[in-house]
Amino acid sequence: MDDLIVGAYGADSQKGKSYVVFGKTDTQSINLGALGDDSKYGIDLLGDENVNKNDTLTGTTADEIFVAGVGSDILTGNGGMDVFNAGMGDDTIIINASNITALEETGDGNRARVDGGGNTSTGVDTLKLDGSGLVLDLTKISNNRIQDIEKIDITGSGNNTLKLDLNDLLDASSSTNILKVVGDAGDSVIAAGFTKTGTNGSYDVYTHSDANTDAGAALWLDGAVLV
């Protein structure tokens, strides 16, 4: 199959995003028209194509593909090897323990992915944890599996943990090198090499000694504790 580009209706050079599905030489034919609700690679939850429509897409425990459009959307995985394409807007993607496990797994058959969909320089896409006792370890997840995320909310329903290094922070978003983390007193962040260098509003600001000064890389924590 040739390479295939999939894009949202109304996307242009100023908004939206296209996704490339890389094909390869093969003797088998593929009938894209046969993809339906029961097909593994069909789109399971599709947002409204209207501009600035805020969608709420809620999945199940099955493996599903979410595609949202322009607007501030809420995508809830509820488990499984889910693929999230949030599109433009200030979106929130909610994942649980099962989603985290799928993101950590390796192998050709694993397509789990979180894509906030890009934003303006002031936009914020949020990755939010659902549950308690969760550990979101970005050092175990390939950096191309989570992208265009500017904020991670680890509050959940109990004590949760986020683990990351400098590379994870730099790869989280294509529009900023600042990663904001929201939590409460019981939540913790494990980030070796980061030290507190100031505050910004309700956030404590941490920087890394190995980061290029011009990159402006910083970890902002609100409520969660760096350990």
| DSSP track, 93-106 | EEE-HHHHHHHH--
Confidence of residue 195 (pLDDT cuts 50, 70, 90): very high
Distance CA 120, CA 134 (A): 30
Which three-class secondary structure state does DSSP give residue 184?
A: coil
Residue with the larger pLDDT of the pair 162 and 47: 162
85/68 Cα distance (integer angstroms): 6
Task: Please identify which residue in the block is written with the tokens 């599709």.
Answer: 46
pLDDT recorded at residue 108: 82
**Chain mean pLDDT for the chain:** 86
Question: How many C-beta atoms surround the C-beta of residue 60 within 10 A?
Answer: 14
Q: Which amino acid belongs to residue 179?
A: L
**Selected residue with higher pLDDT from 223 and 136:** 136
H/E run at residue 199: strand 194-200
- Give the tokens for residue 204: 């404590």
The string of pLDDT tens digits covering residues 143-157 is 899 999 999 999 999
Residue 4: predicted pLDDT: 64
What percentage of the chain has pLDDT greater than the value 90? Answer: 62
DSSP bridge partners of 221: 181, 204
For every residue of 112-153, DSSP letters joined together read -EEE-----TT---EEEE-SSS-EEEGGGS-TTTEES--EEE
> What is the rounded distance in angstroms from the CA atom of residue 94 to the CA atom of residue 211?
29
For residue 109, give both structure tokens: 């058959």
Residues linked to residue 218 through DSSP beta bridges, in sequence order: 178
CB 46 within 8 A of CB 23: no
Q: Average pLDDT in the 61-87 region?
A: 95
- What tens digit of pLDDT does each residue of 151-190 get? 999 999 999 999 999 999 999 999 999 999 999 999 999 9
